[in-house]
Amino acid sequence: MPRIPLTEVLGRVSRELDLLAAEAGDLDRAIAAGLRCVDAGGRRQIAHLQRADFLRQNAEDLAHFVSGVSSFLPDDISVDADSAAGGLQMRALARRLAGTHCPPGDESGDDRSGEVELL
């Protein structure tokens, strides 16, 4: 498999973390809107859902950290991103991190399709 600069891979990870933070922010706003429609007893039971904001903040901070670490690395360090992404469950995420993209019209690899797998 082709090797690509580690700084490029870390940049991709940072962007994915930014996207994750944005998704968590959307979720947090939806939860907050839903909580306004729930009685006080129900709010206490589902208040732990506010942890979505914690997830958003952590993803944002991790994105900044990874980006910062990347800025200190020399450009000549390379990795096999395909192999590194091989064990990921989210196919589209693995493709984005490895630098490969879904063929046009192939949405089957889109992690943001909205489909939910229930346990």
pLDDT tens column, 19-32: 999 999 898 888 87
Given this model, what pLDDT does residue 119 score? 41
Give 82's contacts (C-beta < 8 A, 6+ positions apart).
1, 2, 98, 100
The residue ranking higher by pLDDT, 111 or 9, is: 9
Average pLDDT over residues 84-91: 93
- CA-to-CA distance for 104 and 95, rounded, in angstroms? 14
Given this model, what pLDDT does residue 107 score? 47
The number of angstroms, rounded, from the C-alpha of 71 to the middle of its chain's C-alpha atoms is 20
What's the pTM? 0.73
